Every structure is written in structure tokens, then in C-alpha cells.
Structure 1
């Protein structure tokens, strides 16, 4: 099975790297060729366009920052569908809305291309070691056919059902993560103002019923002051917007998610769309007039 991989950002470069490391035949493309150089040195091949890449492989994997970019890479004049042969597969690892997944799958099917969605969750640091969680949606036989590649890129691999269902549960997991991020910031600030050493507070919370994955991970880069979780404010606002859209579609009131989105929008307007999403906690630091810093925590996970 020959794979193409398009989108070598913070996440994609690690996912593609895991495929190369596992011995798969991998051709890569990104708007910035320099991002591909480490992969090319390890044996990956380069293609000058999505079309050229698709013409050389059996399946194309994309990991891109927005639905609009995914659609352009798929359907543009130099896109995937103009190069991939009928019977090929498009595996979308970006976070898209369910409606986008279903619409783009239909466009692909019209060209004889089958689609598998496979968004990931767990953090870029887990993708770097091939341990990120993969949530797939699509036909079971297609999932089984590409399971070896998915397993090379991730740790736990789930099949969430037909196309579109992985998009829903992925957005739910991100929604929870952003809510937990605000909560851990408030908890740490309350501890500091209450006179508790922040290292002690971090460790006690980690060992308590109030612990969360976000506290264990993003809490560390907050205490370091780098906020570097390799995930931006723009992406957080996009995913929370998807969650609120699902709430409206399914008739579920999402009070916490709505408040969280407004907080992230305020943080984005204050620090910029390219600021790390963990920097949302700085809004609280600025409001209280003190920071959340403790020695010995890493700048990046």
C-alpha cells in the first residue's frame, strides 16, 4: 500500500514520520517544502502538488488546519481528485464538521474515491511517539484495510461508525479538553492565592478526583510559562464552534461550552490567533495580576 501525506504541520509531520518509520512507502507534500526535509532524509518521496502526489499512491492522507483548506486540496484544479485513480482512498485526519465530511465524501465518491475519516486526539506530544488516539469513521472494510497504517501512527484505534461519527466524537473530546483547560487554570490560581506552593498543588490535583488529562499535560506548560501545546487559539475556536453547532443541531444546550468559546474568543483577540491555546489561562493571570509559575516544569511536552 503506497500512501501520500499532505499537511506537515505540528501534527502532520509526526504522523507522517510514524508511517515512514514503520516502513510504509510514503510520498509527502506541503506548501512549505522545508517541513518535508526531515522526512525526505528518512526515505519519504516528495511531490510538487496534491495532484502529483495522488497520482503516485493508493491512498492519500490529509492533515490540514481548516475545512476550507481540506476542500481546496481535495477538489482544486491541482487537487487530490484530479490525480488519484478510481478505487483509491482519501483518509482525512483533520478535524472537520460532520456535514463537511459527508459532503466531501460524496464529491469523492463521484470520482470513484472512497473516504475514511480518522481525526486524532491526545496531543502532539503523543503523536511524536506514535501513541496518539485515532478515531475512524467509514466503512468497516475500508477501516480494516488501512488499520496497519492507522496503528503505525497511533496507539488506541477506534472505529466510531459510519462517516461523520468520528467528527462528532472528536469535537466532543476537544470541547471537554478546552473546558478542562479553563478549570485547571482557575484551580491553580485559587491554590496560589490561597498560599499553596504550585508544584504541590499540581501534584495533589494530579493525584485527586479532580484530575484530568489536560491538567497533567497542559498544566505543565502553563506552570513553565511557555504555554506551548502546539495547538493554536484559531484551532481551539474552530473546534468549539463545531461543538456549539452540534449542540444546535442535536438540540443539546451547551452552557459550559458556550462560555468556554467566548473566553477563547476573548483570548484570541488579546493574544492573537496563532498564540498557543493554553495561553487562554493568561487572561486569568492578567486579571488577577499574578502569574502561575513553578520551577522544574517543561517548556514543551
Structure 2
């Protein structure tokens, strides 16, 4: 059997590769896991975590692709994806007949389509497979894969085993690349808008003298209860924004979704307002929360609330 390749061992990739190894999909003598990451130390950490597994570290993405038939890629930003994919020794440079490239990043639809065309032009196959889920679901095998593109790649037995090891569900939206990204942007824009509204509600509760923890309990007992609120709420009140889904990435996804809605001529003003709030948080040099969890939008809400209070005191 052919080795399995994985390009990108960041917040998501380290958990996803861990699942491939722990679930026995890759890492055996017959099916080693071949990896590459821009920061080589991440590869060393993976090898140290799984000393009994067969893991090979390559010096370029091209070498990973040349060594495998099935290659997963999970890069954090469109800029990183472009550089890694189209670089002189990048992913595309290693593609030849029959290579299966499965890209799990959240990019613009146009990026996915371009990559698919480039892979196909060299005889390879491309599957778009962005994921719904962040750091903890990646480590726990609870991701949701939103796939479109090459149907034979999606149905490949090894690919199916890998997706099941890394995720709790998978959906196939057809052989036209782009629909997986559309689904992901709908999900992430809703999540970001919910987080912005949740942050505003917590800030309002505290500003009018209500106990934040008591209000989390109230919210959790009613029709608006939500796993995200239960998970993030206590951390937000404690100002704990350790990154599971960095704010800058959440904002990127929301901006892409707003652009998609604009092109589709769909009313999206609520999400657009939330996207603007995330942008302000991302660009606020004093807060410096761009690389913190997307729950840190709460800090920007607090800052704007305090600013308004100060104005009222001065005018009063």
C-alpha cells in the first residue's frame, strides 16, 4: 500500500495527523505517514508523540506528494496555501498521474477551483474537503468534512478510512469544486455572528449589574442554549482566549462569506455587522487579539462599551 501524506501541522493538522496515527490508518510499516510543515519543529513534535509509529519527515511539499498517492493538506490562510501549493518545490510541483490531493483548508471558492484545475492539468485528482470544527474536535476525531470534487477520490477506501478517523461526519456536495467551500462559509459565518451576539449579550448583562455566570446558567437552560456558548462563556468571563480557532481566521471566513452573499444578492446585513466587529478586533493593536481565539471579539465589545460610558460621563 502507498504511504499517506499530510502537509501542514498547525493547530488543526497536528490533531488530524494524530488521529490518522492513533486510529491505525497510517503510521504502520506498510503505510507510513509522510509529513511536511513550514516550521520543522512541528514535525519533530509529532514524531516524538508517536515514537512507535512509522513517520517520515520530508523537506518540501513536493517530496511528500512524490512519495504518496493520497495527500491531505491543511494550511491556515489563503496566503500560506498559495505559497505552499504553487511554490517551486510546492505541492503542485510533485503532482503526476493518479495523485489524489485532498485540501482541507478554508479558502475562497476561486482558490479551490484554481487548485483543482492545476492538479487535473497534471493528471491528478482533487477533492475539496474543508472542515467544520476547531482544535479540540481535530484532536478528538470530531470534525465534519464538507467535500466536493473528484468523486472517485471521495469514495476511495483509504480516503474514507482517513476521513472517518479524523471526523464524525462527512458530506459530499457533488463533483463541482466550490460547493464544499460554500457550505463551510455558511457554517463559519453563522458561528462568528453567534459569537458576536453572545459577546454583546454578556457585556450588556455585566454592564447592567447582572452576574455573568448566573446569566450563562440562564442561557443554558432555555431555547437559546448552545454547545459553543456553554464551552466559551466561562472562558470569556475569565478572559481566557487561548486559541482553538484564531480570531484572524474567523474574520477571514466571515469576510469571504459576506462577499459570497453579496455576489448571490442575499441579505446578509446581520453577519456583515458582525464581520465588521471582528475586523475591528483583529486590527486593534492595543488589544492584540488577532492570534487569540475568536471569542476574544468579546474584548473589543468591552472596549467599545467602556468608550461609550466614558463619553457619557464626560458629556454628563
Check whether TM > 0.5. yes
Identify the residue that residue 7 of structure 2 maps to in structure 1: 6
Structure 1: 5+ residue stretches without partners: 291-301
- Mapped to 2, the partners of 1:51 and 1:139 lie a distance apart of 21
Aligned to 1:31: 38
**Residue 58 of structure 1: aligned partner:** 69
CA RMSD of aligned residues (A): 1.8
Q: What is the SS of the residue equivalent to 1:205?
A: helix
Residue 62 of structure 1: CA displacement? 0.9
CA distance in 1, matches of 2:217, 2:169: 26
Whole-angstrom distance in 2 between the partners of 1:220 and 1:143: 39
**Matched ranges for 1:59-208 at <5 A:** 59-145=70-156, 146-162=159-175, 163-208=177-222
| CA drift at 1:276 | 2.8
Alignment size in residue pairs? 290
* Shift in alpha-carbon separation, 1:202–1:245, aligned structure 2, 3 A: same
The aligned residue for residue 20 of structure 1 is 21
1:287 aligns to 2:304 (yes or no): yes
Deviations 1:99-134 (A, max 9, x none): 111111001100011111111112211111111222
**Matching of residues 232-271 of structure 1 within 5 Å:** 232-270=246-284, 271=287
Q: Is the contact between residue 243 and residue 292 of structure 2 (CA under 8 Å) also seen in structure 1?
A: no
CA offset at residue 262 of structure 1? Answer: 1.0
Give, in whole Å, the separation in 2 of the partners of 1:193 and 1:71.
Answer: 44
**Unmatched 5+ stretches in structure 2:** 27-31, 308-316
Partner in structure 2 of residue 277 of structure 1: 294
Aligned to 2:29: none
In the TM superposition, residue 289 of structure 1 has moved relative to its aligned partner by 4.1
> What is the TM-score normalised by the length of structure 1?
0.90
State the distance in 2 between where 1:185 and 1:191 align.
10
Distance change in 2, residues 1:248/1:267 (3 Å):
same
TM-score by length of 2: 0.86
Aligned partners of 2:34, 2:239: CA distance in 1, in Å? 37
Counterpart residue number, 2:47: 40
Per the alignment, residue 313 of structure 2 pairs with none
| Aligned equivalents of 1:229, 1:212: Cα separation in 2 | 20
